[in-house]
Structure 1
Amino acid sequence: MITTDLMPERVEMRAYGTMTLADCKAFEAASNYRVQFNGPIDLLFDLRSMTGYSLDVALEEWRYVRANPTSFRKVALLTDDQFVTWGAWLSQFFTEADIRIFETERAARHWLDGDSQLEDDSILH
């Protein structure tokens, strides 16, 4: 299950339990809507409560990143999952977005809001 918060220039998603393909599609629809009307946006993914995802979710993520290389400016991921971290690192080759992984929501929000003082709190630059 996911929750999605839409803001004018940012979409925030929180995952709980196992992420499904339907969850991915719902996130994509929300993000595409914002990009259509606002141009490139920022993303905040809170995956700390996610317990897993299926192969179809992973494949859909790769397809979506490759199909939208210029849709996102900054992507902040909150996770301690090593596979998600590796996936984020690989995603950087297919998008112009600046992708960073954070341990705290506070640091992620500061970075997304342009506060460079906490920028070094990211794990992946």
Structure 2
Amino acid sequence: MITTDTQESRINVTVLGEFTLADFKEFEEVVMKLESTVDLFVDLREMNGFTVDMALEEIRFARAHPNDFARIAVLTEDQWVSWSAWLSQIFLNADVRVFNDADDAEAWLAGTESPAA
């Protein structure tokens, strides 16, 4: 299951449980309504897996929409998810960063992170 919250220049997505193709299609519908490039905050701390068809759709979508996002903050403590976020940069023209702390991710997206961060 996912929840989405769309703001003027940002989409917040939280994944709970297994990330399925139906969930990703819901996310795609939100993105398709956008009229400009936005930032994306993806909270994957409560994700406990994903389906193969969702992963393939994510790759297809990223290849078809490389310029839809300016910055993507991925919140996770899972190394596999961190690696897959890094891999997605191959298809996207966005700055993708992985965070362990929600406040750090929020600060980066807001442009208020400290220089030492």
- Do the two structures share a fold, i.e. TM-score over 0.5? yes
Instruction: Indicate how the Cα distance of structure 1 residues 63 and 115 shifts in structure 2: closer, same or farther if over 3 A, else same.
Output: same
Query: Which residue number corresponds to residue 89 of structure 1?
Result: 86
How far has the Cα of 1:72 moved from its partner?
0.5
Task: Tell me the distance in 1 between the aligned counterparts of 2:116 and 2:19.
Answer: 28
Query: Which residue number corresponds to residue 113 of structure 1?
Result: 110
How far has the Cα of 1:33 moved from its partner?
1.0
Q: What residue ranges of structure 2 are gaps of 5+ in the alignment?
A: none
Number of aligned residue pairs: 117
Aligned amino acid, residue 25 of structure 1: K
TM-align CA RMSD: 1.3
SS across alignment from 1:75:
strand
Query: Which residue number corresponds to residue 6 of structure 1?
Result: 6
How far has the Cα of 1:116 moved from its partner?
3.3
Task: Tell me the distance in 1 between the aligned counterparts of 2:42 and 2:32.
Answer: 16
Identical counterparts, % of pairs: 44
Task: Tell me the distance in 2 between the aligned counterparts of 1:101 and 1:118.
Answer: 17
Would you say the 8 A contact 2:104–2:113 is kept in 1?
no
SS across alignment from 1:5:
strand
Would you say the 8 A contact 1:110–1:118 is kept in 2?
no
Q: What residue ranges of structure 1 are gaps of 5+ in the alignment?
A: 121-125
Query: Which residue number corresponds to residue 103 of structure 1?
Result: 100
Query: Which residue number corresponds to residue 51 of structure 1?
Result: 48
Task: Tell me the distance in 1 between the aligned counterparts of 2:116 and 2:39.
Answer: 15
Aligned amino acid, residue 60 of structure 1: E
Query: Which residue number corresponds to residue 123 of structure 1?
Result: none
TM-score (norm 2): 0.94
**Residue of structure 2 aligned with 1:76, choices 58, 70, 73:** 73
Aligned amino acid, residue 102 of structure 2: E
